[in-house]
Amino acid sequence: MILSASRRTDIPNYYSEWFYNRIKEGYIYVRNPMNIHQISRIDLLPDVVDCIVFWTKNPKPMLERLDELEAYQYYFQFTLTGYGRDVERNVPHKRDTMIPVFRTLSERIGSKRVIWRYDPIIFTKVYTPEYHLRAFGQIAKALTGYTEKSIISFVDSYVKNSKSMKLLGAYELGENALVEFAAKISETAAACGMRVGSCAESIDLAQCGIEHNCCIDKRLIEDIIGCKIIGGKDKNQRRECGCMESVDIGAYNTCKNDCKYCYANDGIEHIMQNCSRYDLASPLLCGRVTEKDKIKEREVKSLKKEEDNDQRNHTR
């Protein structure tokens, strides 16, 4: 099983202590976002968790306790952009705080296991293509040697972020201008020793040296864990998404980053209401089991190929 922690909320930033508690307990409860009274009990023991993918804008709260993940393999998707607090309201200062955190994490676990996300890219009167190219270049230079890959995407409009996008004055580039922009991004990254991938984009940017990316990346996971795994495309994601199947353990309406482009929150009131239920000892993130809930054991297993497991066991 590949564990996603999480597309729905920033677990490393706001709920790392809860997560470490769940690792100690060896299981977790995840409420079905489409059926709120259906809860899955998920085994978190190392023999079934092949790899953990962390998604975050600030993993600093996790850093002092990474040793507690010694039995697990993992990597980080670390979002670091050029936006100010008008777009990413609760993200600490990038140059003073987040770039040093990125470097520290990379030094601890290796540059291969810290993926830099410069996404989503929003074009406005303030955040013009020229602005993004300067910001990307500055960050790329600061992260040289600390990551091997950057991921970009262009903002998508959802019901949950459409109002914010209108207020920001967001606009789209034409295809030719977009390709020209992407080519400059790729050139800048290459000069800093990084590859670039695009996240869930329909446009083919291969001519710019940008590949269609898999954020939950089968090849990277196999490289990290040292054996082949069996797993298909995640059918719960968008058609353009290349990620392999995973189990997400987050909860919507719990992320306090308050980013204007977010698709996972309905508004600050819902977030505060859910966060008021945060309990470090609860198997659920920001929630408690009620009488109406039905808990079902979710069948999970290792995705490692049997012959690889047999060979690894034989060499011990």
Between 307 and 279, whose confidence is greater? 279
Question: Strand pairing partners for 118?
Answer: 152
* Tokens (6 digits) for 39: 């809860």
pLDDT band at 292; cut points 50, 70, 90:
very high
Tell me the angle at which helices 129-142 and 175-191 cross, rounded to the nearest 10 degrees: 20
pLDDT band at 236; cut points 50, 70, 90:
confident
Residue 98: closest CA among 57, 67, 126, 61: 57
The confidence score (pLDDT) of residue 313 equals 45
- The residue with tokens 């296991």 is 113
Percent of the chain residues topping a pLDDT of 90: 83
Chain-wide mean pLDDT for the chain? 93
The confidence score (pLDDT) of residue 315 equals 41
Percent of the chain residues topping a pLDDT of 70: 96
Taking the CB of residue 101, how many other CB atoms lie within 10 A of it?
A: 19
Does residue 307 carry a pLDDT above 70?
no
Does residue 226 carry a pLDDT above 70?
yes
H-only helix segments in the chain: 11-14, 16-25, 99-109, 129-142, 162-168, 175-191, 218-225, 268-275, 306-314
Distance of CA 307 to the CA centre of its chain: 31
How far are the Cα atoms of 217, 224, 295, 307 from residue 229, in angstroms, in the given order? 11, 11, 29, 10
Residue 217: closest CA among 140, 117, 106: 117
The confidence score (pLDDT) of residue 242 equals 83
Distance between CA atoms of 92 and 99, rounded to whole angstroms? 10
- The residue with tokens 């968008």 is 238
pLDDT tens string 78-128: 999 999 999 999 999 999 999 999 999 999 999 999 999 999 999 999 999
* 131, 132, 137, 140: CA torsion to nearest 10: 140
Residue 169: closest CA among 200, 102, 103, 124: 124
- The residue with tokens 């080519």 is 183
E-only strand ranges, 182-293:
195-198, 210-212, 247-248
The confidence score (pLDDT) of residue 281 equals 95
- The pTM of this model reads 0.93
Structural domain boundaries enclosing 115: 2-314
Question: Strand pairing partners for 88?
Answer: 259
The confidence score (pLDDT) of residue 268 equals 84
The confidence score (pLDDT) of residue 316 equals 38
> Structurally, how many domains does the chain consist of?
1
* Exposure of 138 in the CB half-sphere (CA atoms within 13 A): 13
Tell me the mean pLDDT in the region 175-188: 96
Backbone φ, ψ for residue 62 (5° rounding): -90, -20
